[in-house]
């Protein structure tokens, strides 16, 4: 009956079977089986404590993690129980709508806001603004106030607004300080909110902040969700920001059944508001709370864990723990010193090809870097070696043609979404020019030329047809309907090879959307998950990317694992990033936490490298090895024989590298 408990170690078992009615913090080091512990806790609540599944709310940070969590729960508990039951005199009876809830913080916000949309006076199918949409509205707000975007960068204003929302502020409560940017941001913020409201739209930050204010200001709504979710589990608790923390406190209320899992050593998102004090102060915030520490690592070898410990142990803001493993010492950490960024990338590609040629699957290899610009040289090297690779990201949904199709669907379901209408009103071309669009948005359709007015009326009819089609058809069928009825299929199939490729991408969207056809709320789930896709969620979304070497930032790699991991660009000033007077101790320590996360992605072999010369922003820079490399003891390192370093004086002549413009240059430097 409880076989799932047999595979747990002592500390995991203690956490899974922790008594109800008391808050628990599980400090789970990298690779210590936190997901297994979390899912086993859910199974324990359902199977052993007879908890109604719908009373369980588990929250994590990516759709991918949420899906994996419930797949594991289903395997452990069985589909029948997850379909739901209610307790009636001690007997379990099948009942619809009693499924447990597994969400990301943002998708939880979407669910609550959609369910309560009438209370906040928004369209049920409100639009979730992506980065480009948000940037566009911020620029419109700036233009309204005659604020020059060349003087005041829209991205910085957007960042100020985002951070303030994460801290639980509104434009009314946001206070200016001596920095003029805050005053400008407050002015823009007010107009930005007005523009969003007109479109019945929310940005990513609103999904958190608006949910919090809804719960805080509506006692009946809060009571409803407190009674609905009596057992709350939070994954990656160290990554919660102020508004997420406050929302959790509201939902928990006087209830003591909160179970959180996290690791302060993997707190790497302070730049977007993650507050590690939430995990450090857990026992103070929740009276009677206890802490259990998981230290048995099931992922990496001793040498890899030793390297990670050497990095993280120098931090002071942490819960002390030392990861253990029974995997043995394993291979030493392979250390490479490249002359240039090109040399380093070529070495990585060569090593990856050697692994693949000797039987390693490409999907078991990852290359991690601190910043996105580093991927270009790596891509060039992998292309030269003809190695299949994927730069992890959500590029598919950033394609113009995919955005067009999604805009049609959103505009049909939410006619107030002006930015979507603006995007597609003349896509494909239907004779509605910019002047006509201005008149339409100004409510002056009677002033349109006859041809443009006729085209606009046909466009409105098309949106109504799509909306009606969606009422009786599945997402995949409706996406196909949009492609055909909009004219995209006819226009693109008769166009250039690039046009045909765009049509193929649209058709791939039909395939992708089919996985939502069986969802309880197909269109809501489809629109929500596409809007909230993270970098990791793109993994495997395209069949041709499934068995490829993954190139990604360290931030994007969190939660993943690979047999062979390359951590590149370990240069002082790049990783760790440049220090300046504005950096505090927490930010310095976060760089070490980032390195710790990178190292602990490796299961079998960890490779570390740096380039003695690298071109950044058009400037050649001579580099010192990162302090993280200097922290590693020699007895766990294996220096690659092809390195230029090792204390030997080397004169390198005619070494070529690629500058930021993609031009090949020649360098004459000696070491």
35, 263 contact by CB (below 8 A): no
Which is the catalytic residue, given 17, 35, 140, 170?
A: 35
Residue 274: name the closest of 4, 30, 587 by CA: 587
Q: Is 461 a catalytic residue?
A: no
Which is the catalytic residue, given 60, 266, 536, 600?
A: 266
**Strands of 501-556, DSSP E:** 549-553
CB-count exposure of residue 221 (10 Å: 0-12, 13-18, 19+): middle
Number of Cα atoms under 13 Å in the Cβ half of residue 487: 13
Give the three-class secondary structure for 278: helix
Which is the catalytic residue, given 130, 133, 199, 236?
A: 236
Collect all residues with Cβ–Cβ distance below 8 Å to 314 and sequence separation of at least 6.
592, 631
Which is the catalytic residue, given 230, 430, 601, 612?
A: 601
CA distances for 581 relative to 578, 584, 590, angstroms: 10, 8, 16
- Respond yes or no on whether the N-terminal peptide bond of residue 428 is cis (omega within 30° of 0): yes
Q: How far apart are CA 300 and CA 306, in angstroms?
A: 10
Q: How far apart are CA 361 and CA 502, in angstroms?
A: 30
Residue 407: name the closest of 428, 423, 395 by CA: 423
Residues pairing with 101 in the sheet: 57
Number of Cα atoms under 13 Å in the Cβ half of residue 28: 27
Q: Is 358 a catalytic residue?
A: no
Q: How far apart are CA 530 and CA 513, in angstroms?
A: 9
Q: Is 35 a catalytic residue?
A: yes
CA distances for 239 relative to 158, 234, 273, 316, 544, angstroms: 21, 10, 8, 18, 32
Q: Is 515 a catalytic residue?
A: no
Collect all residues with Cβ–Cβ distance below 8 Å to 579 and sequence separation of at least 6.
588
Collect all residues with Cβ–Cβ distance below 8 Å to 537 and sequence separation of at least 6.
62, 63, 64, 394, 529
Which secondary structure element, helix H or strand E, spans residue 455, and what is its range? helix 450-472
DSSP secondary structure letter of residue 167: T
Collect all residues with Cβ–Cβ distance below 8 Å to 600 and sequence separation of at least 6.
30, 31, 297, 299, 300, 304, 305, 308
Give the three-class secondary structure for 56: strand
Q: Is 277 a catalytic residue?
A: no
| Radius of gyration for the chain, computed over Cα atoms and rounded to the nearest angstrom | 27
**Strands of 422-581, DSSP E:** 549-553, 562-567
Residue 74: name the closest of 115, 46, 33 by CA: 46
DSSP secondary structure letter of residue 321: -
Which is the catalytic residue, given 206, 210, 235, 545?
A: 235
Q: Is 326 a catalytic residue?
A: no
Which is the catalytic residue, given 11, 34, 410, 525?
A: 34
Q: What are the backbone dihedrals phi and psi of residue 621, each rounded to the nearest 5 degrees, phi first?
A: -130, 130
Residues annotated as catalytic are 34-35, 235-236, 266, 601
């Amino acid at each position: 009956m409880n076989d799932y408990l047999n595979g747990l170690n002592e500390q995991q078992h203690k956490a899974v079977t922790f008594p109800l009615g008391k808050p628990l913090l599980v400090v789970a080091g990298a690779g210590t089986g936190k997901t297994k512990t979390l899912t086993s806790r859910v199974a324990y609540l359902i199977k052993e404590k007879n908890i109604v599944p719908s009373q369980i709310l588990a929250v994590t940070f990516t759709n991918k993690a949420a899906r994996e969590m419930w797949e594991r729960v289903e395997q452990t508990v069985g589909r029948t129980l997850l379909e739901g039951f209610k307790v009636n005199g001690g007997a379990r009876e099948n009942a619809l709508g009693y499924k447990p809830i597994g969400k990301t913080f943002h998708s939880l916000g979407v669910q609550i806001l959609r369910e309560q949309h009438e209370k906040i006076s928004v369209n049920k199918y409100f639009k979730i603004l992506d980065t480009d949409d948000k940037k566009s509205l911020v620029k419109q707000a700036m233009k309204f106030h005659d604020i020059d975007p060349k003087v005041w960068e829209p991205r910085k204003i957007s960042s100020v607004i985002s951070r303030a929302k994460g801290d639980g502020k509104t434009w009314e409560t946001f206070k200016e300080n001596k920095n003029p940017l805050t005053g400008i941001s407050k002015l823009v913020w007010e107009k930005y909110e007005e523009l969003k409201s007109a479109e019945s739209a929310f940005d990513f930050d609103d999904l958190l902040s608006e949910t919090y204010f809804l719960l805080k200001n509506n006692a009946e709504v809060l009571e409803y969700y407190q009674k609905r979710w009596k057992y709350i589990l939070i994954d990656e608790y160290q990554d919660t920001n102020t508004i997420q923390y406050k929302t959790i406190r509201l939902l928990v209320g006087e209830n003591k059944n909160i179970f959180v899992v996290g690791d302060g050593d993997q707190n790497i998102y302070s730049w977007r508001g993650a507050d590690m004090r939430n995990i450090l102060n857990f026992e103070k915030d929740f009276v009677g709370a206890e802490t259990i520490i998981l230290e048995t690592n099931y992922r990496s070898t001793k040498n890899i864990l030793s390297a990670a410990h050497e990095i993280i142990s120098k931090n002071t803001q942490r819960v002390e723990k030392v990861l253990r493993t029974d995997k043995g010492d394993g291979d030493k950490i392979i250390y490479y010193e490249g002359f240039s960024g090109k040399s380093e990338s070529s070495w990585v590609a060569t090593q990856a090809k050697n692994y693949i040629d000797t039987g390693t699957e490409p999907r078991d290899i990852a290359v991690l870097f601190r910043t996105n610009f580093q991927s270009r040289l790596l891509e060039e090297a992998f292309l030269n070696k003809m190695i299949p690779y994927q730069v992890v990201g959500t590029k598919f949904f950033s394609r113009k043609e995919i955005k067009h199709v999604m805009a049609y669907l959103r505009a049909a379901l939410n006619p107030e979404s002006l930015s979507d209408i603006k995007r597609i009103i003349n896509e494909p071309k239907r004779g509605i020019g910019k002047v006509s669009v201005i008149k339409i948005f100004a409510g002056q359709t009677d002033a349109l030329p006859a041809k443009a007015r006729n085209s606009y009326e046909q466009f409105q009819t098309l949106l109504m047809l799509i909306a009606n089609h969606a009422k009786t058809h599945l997402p995949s069928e409706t996406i196909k309907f949009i492609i055909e009825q909009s004219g995209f299929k006819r226009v693109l199939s008769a166009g250039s090879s690039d046009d045909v490729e765009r049509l193929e991408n649209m058709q791939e969207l039909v395939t992708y959307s089919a996985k939502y056809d069986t969802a309880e709320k197909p269109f809501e789930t489809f629109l929500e998950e596409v809007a909230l896709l993270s970098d990791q969620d793109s993994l495997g979304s395209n069949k041709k990317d499934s068995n490829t070497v993954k190139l990604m930032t360290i931030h994007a790699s969190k939660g993943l694992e690979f047999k062979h991991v390359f951590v590149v660009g370990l240069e002082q000033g790049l990783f760790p990033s440049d220090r300046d007077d504005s950096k505090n101790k927490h930010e310095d320590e976060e760089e070490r936490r980032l390195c710790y996360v990178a190292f602990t992605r490796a299961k079998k072999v960890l490779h570390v490298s740096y380039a003695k010369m690298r071109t950044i922003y058009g400037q050649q820079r001579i580099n010192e090895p990162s302090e993280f490399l200097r922290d590693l003891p020699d007895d766990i390192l294996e220096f690659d024989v092809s390195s230029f370093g090792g204390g030997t004086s080397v004169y390198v002549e005619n070494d070529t590298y690629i500058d930021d413009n993609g031009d090949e240059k020649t360098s004459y430097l000696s070491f």
